[in-house]
Structure 1
Amino acid sequence: MTQLQGFSDYKKERYESSCFTALEGSGEETLFLLHGQKSLVGTVVRQTTYDIHVASNGGELVVPKVDVKCHASASSAEVVSKLIKIDKKVSTLELGPIHAPAHRYFIKNKTLYPLIKEKQVMLLTLLEGEVIKGLVENFSRYDVEMRMKGGVGLTVLRHAIYDITDKKGRCYLKSFQKEARDWKRSALYI
């Protein structure tokens, strides 16, 4: 049987973890980029299945998880805003949150795993046109952790992804990789 070396162990360890679980109760000031070109800075007090409760400016806001596109440490907010570019073509599509998982733009786990190991620079485009350039560091069922220029960390929620390409423009979405199967070209594929 052929497989990706270390992939099943990685999935067992990380796949069910959620970035919101890590933030919940940590007290970490976090910058959240939300749909509708909004942002919010606060701390995750608690979470439910579909919402996060964020303490911000002395109050508590309930934010649907599907409204969160990505998040980073609040201390890196200025740097993050400079590093994120906009794809004007995608932004004119006026895409909002996609609630039904079957209609989302999906990246296969076995496509993401070699990208971590090979440290390949990727371009992640979000539904509203934001383009995040960096290395894929980790992923779970719900999110993809990126490391941008200068070591700035950013976590992208998988439901907010529109496209993922390498610097040459090769697509890594499931719809394309169904035929291309780039993970088979990885040195990890045994």
Structure 2
Amino acid sequence: MSWTFMGSDGSTRSAADDNRADHRTQVLALHSYVSRLLRGDEARAEDIVQETLLRCWRTYGSIGDSELRPWMFRVARNLVIDNYRSHKSRPPETDGDLWKEVDTSETDDTERVLTAMVVRKGMATLSTAHRQALFEVYYHGRTLEEAAHVLGVPKGTLKSRVHYGLRALQRSLTGPRVPLIRAENT
């Protein structure tokens, strides 16, 4: 096996062709070996083969031709092991969409607390009748019939109080402060 292609001395065309064919055979065998070690990961296999050939080129003079092939396969194997260890020690690489999978709903109750404070202030602006109607229907979860029975008012009156109470609450939460008409018997 001859590796003079790495430091060509201008030999004849046939010798250069022989070197290229020998090089291709060695590289293909090395690439096949590394691909098997990496279970078919072609991109990493090409990187490992390239690094192996670079190390071979750097140490070319200190290794004899008969020891070159086993040495290259050992270097490639060691690079695969180093690559595997470095990937295990690093956190996994992400594609930038990992933040979409993070569930933030249970990590912070600040939004819920602030919403409750705003709604409480808005409820304070309502009349007592509207506030009681909304409280019975939305807080206790009662039907209109049940809430009307608890409050002792007709169903139509309760329905009207819920409607106008929601409108007033919406105005107090979203719009400018407008004096609300406080109707006790509406």
TM-score (norm 2): 0.21
More helix by share: 2
TM-score (norm 1): 0.20
